[in-house]
Chains A and B, each alone.
Chain A
Amino acid sequence: MPAIVPALIGITLVALGYFFYSKFIAEKIYQLDPDYETPAHALRDDIDFIPTNRVVLWGHHFTAVAGAAPIIGPAIAVIWGWLPAFIWVIGGTMFFAGVHDFGAIWASVRNEGRSIGSLTGDVVSHRARTLFMIVIFFLLMMVNAVFAVAISNAFVATPSSVIPAWTAIAVAVVIGVLIYKMGVPILWPTIIGTIILYVVIYVGDQVPVSLPETVMGLGAGPQWIIILFIYATIASLLPVWLLLQPRDYINGIQLIIGLGLLFGAVFVANPDIVAPMFNTDVPDGTPPLVPLLFVTIACGALSGFHGLVSSGTTSKQLNKETDARFVGYLGSSGEGLLALVTILAVSAGFASLGEWQTTYAEFGMTGIPTFVEGGSQIVSDGTPLSKEFAATLLAVMAVLFAGTTMDAGVRLQRYIIQEWGTIYKIPVLQNGYIATFAAVAACLALAFGAGGRSGQGGMAIWPLFGTTNQLLAGLTLLVLSVMLVKLKRRYVFTMVPMVFVTGMSFLAAIFQLWDLFNKGSYVLMGIDFVIIILAIFVILESGAAFTREKRAADAS
């Protein structure tokens, strides 16, 4: 089948979802009010709370939620065939993610711009709030480990991306200094910085960098993991304006250029999809599609992490309540399209079915390199760019996304550990450096425990990460459902996604426990065990809160 067909169907369905379904949700369920005074106005301080143009806010929301995860997830999940991944990404975006992200903004706007985590305490219960914090802690720990492994895989597979990826950091620091310290207007640094970045991609293409095969018994992959954690330690201690802020900005530009390039190339080259629609001949050891598909693709279909962004920063800047639909629903639609183009890249970017099967020879061994391989083929067919240049460009884009998530993750992890130090009165943990080292040590242990030491672990930890992410989404949907019950509105539109993802996460966690035991990955098994306990608590808590509120609402 020509790739253009699913591309068009996907885009059309997401557009229909925006025009009809989100309109219905906005008018009938969340009942947005254009005259409601949003926190951006009511609590305006021109720092956190500031009314922002909805297009700008959408751009900021979209770039904050879209990262490496909607690339890695689909690149793994296509092993079951491209159609299941396509259906889950498009259906999930339309009926799950859109409602979830949009709802998280609405819930926060109606509660003084507070985050979903803190809302959980009021709306559901204090236990649920504690649960929320624990799930977030695990999610962050896994994010750092999983992205370190993903970047190291990309560096090993595409050595030409090494120089540009590290140069991007230097470019970001220069932009940060120019803007913050020297007050230079932003336009010129942006244009010059972007040009430098693309010139360096060309240089990287000519000068690939590979680490020695082994140093002290460690392969190239694990060496990169260590270097990346050293980098993340330093980066997370630097002031935000120096690295994180300009880097996020550069990534946003990369994202828009990359997405445009990929979709443009799909439409021009119109490659044939070589991957099977349903893969009936999956390699040995591939887990069953249900429930694993629904946790392998989290970001791109539904992701709890979005709730944190929606209720953390976006809701504080919403100019009108009715903008929530545009920002939230279209934000997740943008991410769905990134996942869609990844599916097309990894299913149509190969020359033949045989080549595709060689790549998808084992579950969990694909990821950024597969996306780069398939995507660069399509880009080189559809544009004048060479395959090597396109590969470097896409690898750099994915590495930058993953890298930013990683240093932001270490930073957040440090805040949490410092907070524990304050709560439990352990002065040592309150020290920023010690907290950072503790965070990094935990993540490093996890990355190596997941099989990174041999460099053969692939993305074994990925489904666990997805499971945690979906549990978080389940909790956010629980808050939304309980709010709707209290308001005596129809709650089925948030309730069904909640039951579905929580159930799938629970089943996936149970299945993985057995699988990890058989593989002898005891570190991951331990984590999976904790996730199962968390899932049980989420289910119990949801059931209890729901019946309680339903009874109260019926009685009144």
Chain B
Amino acid sequence: MTWADIKKKLSWLSYLATEAYNAPYRGAVARAKRDEDDLFMLLIFSEMMGVPNPATYYTLELQPIMLERFHEWHKRAGMEHSPLDGFRCC
């Protein structure tokens, strides 16, 4: 058995293990991740909703980065359009 064969076997094993680990909980983990992201989103836009956030100076920088996900987030939260005045989305 060459080194390449061993490597191939290991990568197959690793694939099996990864799938065995992830497959049953893919949905649950994705939802958990999304909930965490939503909380983060809330922190970033909290000042606009009147919730004081001492770190606004820093989180302001993140707003453009989060913009793409903002649309999905407000849709998911049950709001047809952006809930923030002066911050249009769609």
Contact = CB atoms under 8 A, between A and B. Distances in A.
Interface of B is mostly: helix
A57 B16 CA distance: 10
Interface in A272-330: 313, 317
A60 B23 contact: yes
A376 B80 CA distance: 63
A313 B18 CA distance: 17
Contacts of A64: 24
A317 B21 contact: no
Nearest to B17: A186
B29 interface: yes
B29 to A, nearest CB: 5
Interface string B1-37: 0000000001001101111110111111110100000
A144 B17 CA distance: 29
A60 B17 contact: no
Interface residues of A, number: 29
A241 B24 contact: no
Contact of B14 (A53, A63, A185): A185
A179 B20 CA distance: 13
A180 interface: yes
Interface string A243-273: 0111011001000000000000000000000
- Residue among B14, B26, B27, B28 facing the most chain A CB atoms (10 A cut-off): B26
A245 B10 contact: no
Interface in A207-259: 239-241, 244-246, 248-249, 252
Contacts of A182: none
Contact of A52 (B21, B23, B25, B28): B23
B19 A245 contact: no
A59 interface: yes
A59 B20 CA distance: 7
Contact of A47 (B10, B16, B24, B27): B27
Contact of A252 (B13, B14, B20, B32): B20
A248 B17 CA distance: 12
Contacts of A59: 16, 20
Contact of A48 (B13, B19, B27, B32): B27
A186 B27 contact: no
Contact of B26 (A48, A56, A246, A248): A48
Given A59-B20, A249-B21, A186 B26 contact: no
Interface string A187-208: 1001000000000000000000
Nearest to A246: B21
Interface of B: 10, 13-14, 16-21, 23-30, 32
